[in-house]
């Protein structure tokens, strides 16, 4: 990401995250992301020891600024395979079938929110 976007992210870090976060490390983390790359909230949780609610609040703020866009990833909990992404909640099916193990899975129990970088200038 370029300086303009990183500055907006830094401002959001200061507004949304607790004071124990290493701002420099978090900015360096985002520096590696380019447009059309996926950001997984679980990675931020593991890498920066943030609560999941803090992470989603932070990523949601970046989405409001037009830096990220949220998607729902359908994920097979049996074989650990991604079944693709859906943009809007109301487009999620009630159930989906895993292409690999052919299990029928509940979408709400087998999906999570991920984010796509849509602006990196």
Q: Check residue 54 and give its pLDDT.
A: 92
Q: Check residue 18 and give its pLDDT.
A: 74
Alpha carbons 72 and 88: distance in angstroms, whole number: 7
Q: Check residue 91 and give its pLDDT.
A: 94
Kindly list the averaged pLDDT for each block of 10 residues, start to end, along the chain of length 121: 88 85 91 95 92 94 97 94 94 94 95 94 84
pTM over 0.85: yes
Q: Check residue 19 and give its pLDDT.
A: 75
Q: Check residue 59 and give its pLDDT.
A: 97
């Amino acid at each position: 990401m370029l300086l303009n976007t990183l500055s907006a992210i830094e401002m959001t870090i200061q507004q949304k995250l607790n004071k124990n976060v290493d701002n420099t490390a978090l900015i360096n983390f985002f520096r590696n992301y380019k447009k059309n790359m996926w950001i997984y909230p679980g990675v931020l949780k593991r890498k920066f020891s943030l609560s999941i609610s803090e992470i989603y609040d932070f990523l949601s703020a970046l989405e409001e600024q037009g830096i990220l866009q949220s998607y729902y990833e359908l994920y097979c909990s049996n074989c650990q395979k991604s079944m693709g992404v859906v943009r809007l909640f109301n487009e999620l099916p009630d159930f989906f079938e895993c292409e690999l193990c052919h299990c029928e899975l509940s979408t709400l129990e087998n999906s999570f929110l991920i984010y796509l970088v849509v602006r990196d200038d």
